[in-house]
Amino acid sequence: MNTKFSDYFKENFFQDEENLNVFLNSLTKKLKKTIRINTSKISVEELKKRMFEQDYILTPTFQKNVFYIEKWENPDKEEKKLGTTLEHLLWYFYVQELWASSSVFYLANWEIDKTPHLILDMAASPGWKTTQLSEYYPDSFIVANEFDSSRTKQLIMNIERLWATNIWITNYNWQYLGRISNTFDKVLLDAPCSWEWTGFKTLEALKFWNIKNVKKISELQKKLFESGLNSLKVWWEMLYSTCTMNEFENEWVVEYIKEKHPWSFEILFEKRFWPHIDETWWFFVCKIKKLKEIEYRSSKKEELFNENIKNLTRWEESIMNNFGKEFWINFDNFELLKYSNEIIIINKKHPYNEISGRIYFFKLGQRIGKIEEWQFVPNYYIWRDFWILKIPKYEIKTEQELDIYLKWAEIWENLEFIKWKKIVWDYVQLIYNSVSVWLWKISSEWTIKNYFPKSWFRK
């Protein structure tokens, strides 16, 4: 154990040697695995039933959609990893630590809110909390910002996998975000921190812990907090959180901004999670309400225009209307836009227009296909996100057959059932356990193109 680390916590939190040792010993304890159920796609009871049939037992936590998960040994069944289940593939659940799901839980007052808010997630990657925001605020427009562009790949993958269609991604630093004054209804700042929580993976991770590094990162956190506060509307709420336990990155960040901008906000809730008490990784959350505007040095507004995002031409609208009629897809609740030649759709409930002229998005929300050679070419997502009535369905018969397809094996299935029905459509929607899994396209030579994203294949 790094003596600088243990001495700091002894001096500031555990004068009693026995309690200090209980805390330090808890760092080596293996924590229970937890999953967050994506209730926008499946009910808690239905997932519990599905997982029980695969010998998984779910037990409650203090969050109603987050559960401890354990696997009972069943000698009669082949061992199956949690990440290879169909339920994980369809993102009915997300493997997420209890502490990591707490920020959004407290920001949303642990209830689903269908009010169309404008929400900022200031440091979004890898997307655990961003997709949780989408679940708790399904009718809101969520700006997911990631400072480090190299971390956006994982963020994009998680957003797409969890079917989070109301999230758009930006890549700004804290200075620019601070210029977007009094704009957002909700702000989530899960701040970059000194990563003390990695001590749970190995105590070696704490080897280089020292106060100098902690103080350095706390200076960045103060700037982020102030920037987020300025971008928040008056009377609305921000949640600040870290995965550390020292005071420099937690209470003292909050107190610094409170002293710099007196009476600008009130603390609604504040809690630090201790591993030996709360049986979770260490974590800190602070929820505030903004009471008045603040003087912010970079409060100048900058108008930006997403020049590549355009309205459809009449010709393109006609193409999309014809496609919708042909396949019985109703786009009435969506605004259709074009990004290059990609078609993207936005739920009309989402307050996109409030922010579209002030932020440049490099990754757009719900893409459904492209217009190429005078026709609309759908992608995988439209078949996943919409139940298409007017194309043939193929029911995958067994778990083994599903596994073959998910490994991108050659598909030798006899397609005579399509010829026999004289189907004129080019597409077949694959169904397993009454769930749309993915799409085939059948060529004139009766070969199959699988539209399932290759990055999601099983290994």
Catalytic amino acids?
243
Q: Report how far residue 242's alpha carbon sits from residue 22's, in angstroms, rounded to the nearest whole number.
A: 22
The closest of 158, 165, 216 to 192, measured between CA atoms, is 216
Residues 343, 376 contacting (CB under 8 angstroms): yes
Distance of CA 11 to the CA centre of its chain: 38
Q: Report how far residue 393's alpha carbon sits from residue 387's, in angstroms, rounded to the nearest whole number.
A: 11
Residues 191, 129 contacting (CB under 8 angstroms): no
Q: Across-strand partners of 186? A: 119, 237
Residues 6+ apart with CB under 8 A from 278: none
